[in-house]
Amino acid sequence: MSLHASNIDKPIDPVTPDTLPDASHEDIANGLSAIVDHSAEAPNVTHHIHTPIRSLINSHWIKSLIPGIEKLAVDYHCGNYVIVRGSTEPFFETMPLYARLGMHLLFYGKEQIVVLGTHKVDQLLRQQSIKQGQIYDDPKSAASIHSFIETYSIQIDELLEPDITKYKNFNEFFYRKLKPDARPVQNEDDKSVIVSAADCRLTVFTSIDLAKAFWVKGQNFNVPNLLNLPPDSPKAESFQNASIAIFRLAPADYHRFHCPIDCEVGDIENVPGHFYTVNPQAINEPGFDVLTANTRSILYLKHIPTGQLVAYVAVGALLVGSIQWTGGKEKGAVLKRGDELGYFAYGGSTIVIVFPKEIVEFDEDLVSNSQKPIETLVKVGYSIGKTVRA
């Protein structure tokens, strides 16, 4: 596939149950289980759950683990278009194999009673997520760090600890810290500026209705469901006509997330849920609830300039079983833009930030890209908008 910008205007086949390649539930479930197990033994990231799917198709080991894998690698079903902030040319970013298998199980198996043995789809995805976390916590997993760095061109010079032999396991490297000056806050002296919470692929919407029109197609997607609130509660009502920003982290990204506003830390609520993939092809699929169904942790932040509550939602996903708060643990603590709030262990995931009505005016380029719709590649500290009322 050509990656030129002109291709963004060409229709892309929708990823639906009818257009996915033909494969049985058991084949895909076995494949996901096998690739997770194999990641415990493979020191090379080309034999790893996070390898971009196109890099795997000609590998004999993956063909032996997942018969018929070639059927899952059709061009329009193995990645997403994104655009680098400040650029005008989109590029095609391939997804990891585990996300592709997870989507197949989600699309085909959500209503299926059993998939592999006696496991339901939800049980299988939860089990594999827990297993992968245990694999990456094992000291043996450190052997794959060097290959991961090469595969994803990780910038070693910005790491707080650049000596990769100091990381005790792969997970420790995965939620690596950066040097204090690696992610400066743009326009730091302008207190109205709101900044990116993560190195991510970002979409922004001035209302939930626009988010549903252009991006999130889950039929149960709304603020009360996302925040696990009764619709008539005072807190839910304070978010009526809210604006939202969706920060999607890919496996290669820096996986610590940060504060987008000057704020005071409030309550945290943990919401148990599923471990569906958060890839856009799943988020964009009509009828599939992902953001409001997945396990998530909600931190409320009091926006100092306006006194309003902002909801910061860390969403778990397939092979992401751990959401850890660091700077957001102490209620009443005062934080400034760019301060660390927490991290995800193993795998990419998503942060959704819900702003009460009229608190934020998003930057025009982000709004325009989101309505195409296409994600914008940004980093922690980049401006994403401004406070419009105080």
Can you say how many angstroms the Cα of residue 104 is from the centroid of all Cα atoms in its chain? 18
Catalytic residue check, 199: yes
- Catalytic one of 47, 48, 258, 274: 258
- Is 258 a known active-site residue? yes
State the Cα–Cα distance between residues 284 and 225, nearest whole angstrom.
Answer: 18
154 touches 252 (CB < 8 A): yes
Q: At what angle do helices 121-137 and 97-109 cross, to 10 degrees?
A: 160
Task: Locate all alpha helices (DSSP H) within the chain, ordered by sequence.
Answer: 25-38, 60-65, 97-109, 121-137, 145-152, 170-174, 208-214, 223-226, 234-238, 280-283, 364-370
Question: Rounded to whole angstroms, how far apart are CA atoms 44 and 390?
Answer: 52
- Which residue, 182, 222, 154, is CA-closest to 380? 182
Considering 27, 122, 199, 253, which one is annotated as catalytic? 199
Residue 290 to residue 113: CA distance in whole angstroms: 19
Rounded to whole angstroms, the Cα distance separating 265 from 168 reads 31
The whole-angstrom separation of Cα 111 and Cα 128 is 19
Told to judge if 232 belongs to the known catalytic residues of this protein, a careful annotator would answer: no
State residue 215 phi and psi, 5-degree precision. Answer: -140, -65
Of 352, 255, 343, 258, the residue nearest 313 (C-alpha): 352
Alpha carbon distance 87, 66 (integer Å): 38
β-bridge pairing 340-345 and 383-387: unpaired
Q: What is the dihedral of CA 44, 49, 54, 57, to 10 degrees?
A: 80
Active-site hit among 39, 144, 322, 349: 349
Residues labelled catalytic: 199, 258, 349
